[in-house]
Amino acid sequence: MGNSALIVIDMINSYDHPDADLLVPSVRSALPQIGRLIDRARSERVPVVYANDNFGQWRSHHGEIIETALGGSNAELVEPVLPDQDSLFVVKARHSIFYETPLSYLLSQLEAGHVVLCGQVTEQCVLYSALDAHIRHLRVTVPRDAVAHIHGDLADAALRMMERNMGAAVLDAGDVSF
């Protein structure tokens, strides 16, 4: 399983939650790099998988999640990273992209042994997803400039933990190899 997959975490977001004011500036900073990673993955025919919260809407599907996000007050943060017709979409309910989702099976079907994690939130969903990828024996890359945080100090600590404790490659988005 030597293939790679780009996992875009929680970027389809209405930003209608208590930490949004703290998160949005970091998203604005990471957004160009996330967009470039998505474009690069698509051009290199690397699967792009969106793993996204359903925001407690248990009857929702990815189309409704996208519609809700585009109807939010920060649609300009969603539009540049929208899924295309070839993108894959996994709905999640908790922090990890793997918890109670079909992502492990999907990655095995793609023969992906390497995941590149981008999106939000560094010190929450990205961190827990990196750990779950590591315990599944996947190679993990986290581009530090393509993840967004709520608390910068916790994000820095999370990136160090991913690198040191999980063996993740933590580097700039421009240095990512799929």
Q: Is the pLDDT of residue 92 over 60?
A: yes
- pLDDT per residue as tens digits for the range 51-79: 998 765 655 567 888 888 899 889 999 99
For 66, phi then psi, to 5°, come to -65, -45
- The model's confidence at residue 81, banded by pLDDT at 50, 70 and 90, is very high
Distance CA 82, CA 49 (A): 11
Mean pLDDT, rounded, for 36-61: 86
Tokens matching residue 44: 């290199």
Percent with pLDDT over 70 in the chain = 95
The more confidently predicted of residues 174 and 69 is: 174
Q: Is the pLDDT of residue 118 over 70?
A: yes
Single pTM value for the model: 0.95
Percent with pLDDT over 90 in the chain = 85
Mean pLDDT, rounded, for 80-107: 95
Average pLDDT over all residues of the chain: 94
- Residues 4/111, Cβ–Cβ less than 8 Å: no
- The model's confidence at residue 102, banded by pLDDT at 50, 70 and 90, is very high
The neighbour count for residue 142, using CB atoms within 10 Å, is 27
